[in-house]
């Protein structure tokens, strides 16, 4: 019996060890991003800037100044600026910044090379700040808290953290298969409870909104009419089945 206990303790230790190994295995180095963007940049800039549309649904009339953190392809920063919403973007990957500026010259003075852990902005510079997919490559909650604290520091009203939805089984399976060939898909998914609990200590209130719901994505693709989409989204987002959206848009009210 004792042997059995010892064996099961050893196996659960092994399990924990393997779990920790898996936890630290997300690749997030500058070289990883430079290589990933060499493979994926062209495809990303072709995508509909869905995050910009869903963010637009949350903006109030006085939200004049927006920050995108870890913008990568910066196609959302670009869309917001094209709509007349002043948006600055930052990222640590010099290569992707160069690619983004070359693809969209209007981004020239809008995107900056900067680390999200220590941003070169004064307190409360932006009304709203957001990122999409950034938290997917961090296994340490401690690191995430540093990032959230810094995001809160530079923001006045809303922080938006869009993360991959752990409740979407179809998406998890797709990423599991894709990750066999490409590390970009080896990433962290979040449940609504998990992302809420990370943001809660820093915010007055946290709300989780569905991002990339098939029906709304279709509406966006078909109409491009952001004010129409905003009206429909704000009326019906409550009715969405959260398990079907690709991302969760965690919003912290400051």
Ligand X SMILES: C[S@@+](CC[C@H](N)C(=O)[O-])C[C@H]1O[C@@H](n2cnc3c(N)ncnc32)[C@H](O)[C@@H]1O
Which residues contribute to the site for ligand X (CB under 6 A)? 28, 33, 44, 70-73, 75-76, 90-93, 96, 115-117, 132-134
Minimum separation from the CB atom of position 221 to ligand X (A): 16
Residues 6+ apart with CB under 8 A from 236: none
Minimum separation from the CB atom of position 4 to ligand X (A): 45
6 or 39, CB closer to ligand X? 39
- Going along 173-220, which residue ranges are E strands? 205-211
12 or 108, CB closer to ligand X? 108
4 CB-contact burial (10 Å; exposed 0-12 / middle 13-18 / buried 19+) = exposed
Whole-angstrom distance, CA of residue 137 vs CA of residue 146 = 14
Minimum separation from the CB atom of position 115 to ligand X (A): 5
Whole-angstrom distance, CA of residue 90 vs CA of residue 71 = 6
226 or 232, CB closer to ligand X? 226
| CB 68 within 8 Å of CB 131 | yes
Query: Strand, coil or helix: what is 61?
Result: coil
131 or 233, CB closer to ligand X? 131
- Going along the chain, which residue ranges are E strands? 65-69, 86-91, 111-113, 126-132, 155-164, 205-211, 247-253
141 or 241, CB closer to ligand X? 141
Query: Strand, coil or helix: what is 131?
Result: strand
Give the DSSP letter of residue 92: S
Strand partners, 126: 155
State both tokens at 175: 């990423």
134 or 190, CB closer to ligand X? 134
Minimum separation from the CB atom of position 73 to ligand X (A): 3
Minimum separation from the CB atom of position 33 to ligand X (A): 4
Residue of closest CB approach to ligand X = 72
Minimum separation from the CB atom of position 23 to ligand X (A): 17
Q: Phi first, then psi: what are they for 245, rounded to 5°?
A: -85, 150
């Amino acid at each position: 019996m004792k042997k059995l206990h010892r064996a099961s303790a050893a196996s659960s230790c092994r399990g924990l060890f393997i779990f920790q190994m898996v936890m630290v295995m997300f690749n997030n180095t500058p070289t990883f991003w430079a290589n990933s963007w060499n493979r994926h940049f062209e495809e990303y800039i072709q995508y509909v800037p869905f995050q910009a549309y869903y963010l637009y649904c949350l903006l109030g009339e006085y939200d004049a100044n927006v920050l995108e953190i870890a913008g990568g392809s910066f196609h959302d920063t670009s869309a917001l600026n094209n709509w007349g919403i002043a948006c600055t973007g930052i990222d640590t990957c010099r290569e992707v910044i160069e690619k983004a500026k070359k693809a969209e010259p209007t981004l020239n003075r809008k995107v900056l090379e900067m680390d999200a852990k220590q941003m070169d902005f004064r307190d409360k510079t932006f009304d709203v700040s957001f990122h999409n997919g950034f938290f997917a490559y961090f296994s340490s909650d401690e690191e995430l808290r540093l990032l959230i604290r810094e995001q809160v520091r530079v923001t006045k009203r809303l922080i938006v953290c869009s993360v991959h939805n752990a409740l979407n089984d179809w998406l998890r399976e797709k990423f599991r298969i894709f990750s066999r060939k490409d590390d970009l898909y080896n990433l962290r998914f979040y449940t609504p409870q998990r992302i809420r609990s990370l943001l809660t200590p820093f915010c007055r209130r946290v709300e989780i909104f569905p991002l990339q719901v098939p029906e709304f994505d279709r509406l966006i693709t078909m109409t491009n009419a952001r004010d129409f989409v905003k009206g429909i989204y704000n009326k019906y987002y409550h009715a969405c089945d959260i398990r079907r959206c690709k991302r969760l848009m965690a919003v912290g009210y400051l």
